[in-house]
Amino acid sequence: MQLLDYRPDECESLFHEKTEGALRLLSSLALPDPVKHASPPSGFRLRAEFRVWHDENELHYVMFPPGDSRSPRVIDDFPIVGPRITEAMAPLRARLQRSTELRRKLFQVEFLSTLSGELLITLIYHRPLDESWRAQALELAEALSCKIIGRSRKQKLVLDTDWVEEVIEVGGQHYRYRQPEQCFTQPNGIINQKMMTWLLAQCVTTDTDLLELYCGIGNFTLPLSQRFRNALATELSKPATAAARWNAEQNKTSNIELARLSAEEMTAAMAGERPFRRLAHLKRALNQYQFETLLVDPPRAGLDEATRALAGNFTRVLYISCSPETLARDLATLSATHEIESLAFFDQFPYTHHLESGVVLRKKAV
């Protein structure tokens, strides 16, 4: 993580500046009035990582200015992180500093927390970890009421589990999520809940099927699946796919199928270009689904050319974007076949230039 220009009094105006910039990028398109979802100015981030700086007998959390890895800035508190991280930062630093075993060649500390109050701390070292480390780390986990993982080169020691469990309420229903360490999860829990609620409101109950690309751990899959006959969700990451499968089972959903494919591979499969063994477990063949709605949540690179072409065949496209630039490019292509029905902006990353957008597109009448 890099240093943050924390200006809580300007949080709302900074969000407005970002949305105005996005609207300028999209100005060539016919746009509905956007809905804007602001973030709380503090306490919103559920994950954080800090380098550890050793100064003789002192140990500090540090961050670095952009592009400058030689000028550490000591972080005594970090007001954007959630309460579980805030509560743990000072006592963790004090205990690490007192323990020769826990602090020796400690390189980085990572925090993963949840709205439901769980906390996982990963300690990363430039040395092998042994039973002496494990014994003191267990005491640390008990003292801080958290989970601990130790990492070093080719080594990972998990003292409890390597995941936290989140509980999120969407549309009056609670969903349980296993969120593994080192899998992507939405960092702003409050805004994530707003995104999920907004997406659910865009979908009416139908007897058609949903195809989702880039599903991750099933963040959007679970609530949206209740609106469709079946949902087929794909994700390339093996740990994320495993977590999505666990999440679907634990939430007792019976209409979700998961496949470990990239968006490009799923596009090739839909086009019948070649078969994939990773689809062999599906209860029905792809041609037996009645896909009318596509949900995509791509990385900042946006959609590749083939996936944009695939999206052009769907009646409705739900697009969650983390890059206004690539969103503008993709919508410019999709505008040939679709019109924009709904637009929303979400301040997932306050005090940065990053902006999350939600777009609903409907196929134009022939």
Catalytic residues: 322, 356
Say if residues 232 and 282 touch (Cβ distance below 8 Å). Answer: yes
Question: What does DSSP assign to residue 43?
Answer: S
For the range 200-207, what are the long-range contacts, defined as Cβ-Cβ under 8 Å and sequence gap of 24 or more?
A: 200/170, 200/171, 200/224, 200/227, 202/318, 202/342, 202/360, 203/227, 203/228, 203/293, 203/318, 206/292, 206/293, 207/290
CA distance 122 to 237: 20
**Helix spans in 39-175 (H):** 83-98, 100-103, 131-144
The H-or-E segment that residue 191 falls in is: helix 189-201
Say if residues 106 and 122 touch (Cβ distance below 8 Å). Answer: no
Helix pair 324-334, 11-25: axis angle to 10 deg: 30
Say if residues 37 and 75 touch (Cβ distance below 8 Å). Answer: no
Question: Got the DSSP string for 100-129?
Answer: HHHHTTEEEEEEEE-TTS-EEEEEEESS--
CA distance 8 to 80: 9
